[in-house]
A and B are shown apart, each in its own frame.
Chain A
Amino acid sequence: DAGVTQSPTHLIKTRGQQVTLRCSPKSGHDTVSWYQQALGQGPQFIFQYYEEEERQRGNFPDRFSGHQFPNYSSELNVNALLLGDSALYLCASSPPSDRGAQYFGPGTRLLVL
């Protein structure tokens, strides 16, 4: 049983570009959350998707957007990249039976130059 998978593992972009990160949840999980982990900090909640809709959002600008597909996989899009967007982006999924539990993927490390 595969856990949460994310792609790509690493990415380098330049300021002003756009990026799309992908996440496949653990089998049987229907809720996907995204977090940003800057160097030396704990993960910060970006948003959460359930039934293909954004259900909650953290303190992130509209440059950060997402999508959830019918198979529960999800994308995180970031437009007009800034140097400060350099971070590890984590995806976490939750099962219907235990929405308090979140299982994390390995993350995508984004470097903005």
Chain B
Amino acid sequence: AQSVSQHNHHVILSEAASLELGCNYSYGGTVNLFWYVQYPGQHLQLLLKYFSGDPLVKGIKGFEAEFIKSKFSFNLRKPSVQWSDTAEYFCAVNSFSGGYNKLIFGAGTRLAVHP
């Protein structure tokens, strides 16, 4: 069965620190990979996605993620975090079946950035 594992449930950083959130997936077929963010009191928003091509994907707000097929990983990075990055981050893989797709999410990583 497909699954997504996020290594850290809670991360606390100071502003300007670098961020890397781990994500590993288990899926045998072609994968589409996503990172979603949920800011406090807001709905899930797409940060970035990987479908094919360059394994280094750049998203909004300075985030990027690298797809490493051999490691089944899709880690999220940001060189310098801001207080406004405080949110919960979800990694997801798109599972295709019969021409239709569904997202399988990890449990999420709650990031707190202190000024």
Contacts and interface: CB of A to CB of B under 8 A. Distances in A.
B51 A50 contact: no
Chain B: number of interface residues, binned into ranges? 20 to 34
Interface of A: 4, 31, 33, 35, 40-45, 48, 50, 55-56, 58, 90, 92, 99-107
A44 B100 CA distance: 16
13 contacts: A31-B100, A40-B108, A41-B108, A42-B92, A42-B107, A43-B103, A44-B105, A48-B100, A50-B100, A55-B100, A100-B94, A101-B49, A104-B43
Contacts of B102: 33, 45, 48, 56, 58
B98 A55 contact: yes
A92 B102 CA distance: 10
Contacts of B101: 56, 99-100
Interface in B67-115: 90, 92, 94, 97-98, 100-108
B108 A105 contact: no
Contacts of B105: 35, 42-44
Secondary structure of the B contact surface, majority rule: strand
Contacts of A4: 43
Interface in B20-48: 32, 36, 42-46
Given A100-B32, A101-B49, A103-B46, A42 B90 contact: yes
A35 B100 CA distance: 15
Given A48-B100, A56-B97, A56-B100, A43 B43 contact: no
A45 B43 contact: no
A102 B107 contact: no
A48 B102 CA distance: 8
Nearest to A102: B103
Given A42-B105, A45-B103, A100-B32, A90 B98 contact: no
Contacts of B100: 31, 48, 50, 55-56, 99
Given A33-B102, A45-B102, A101-B49, A90 B44 contact: yes
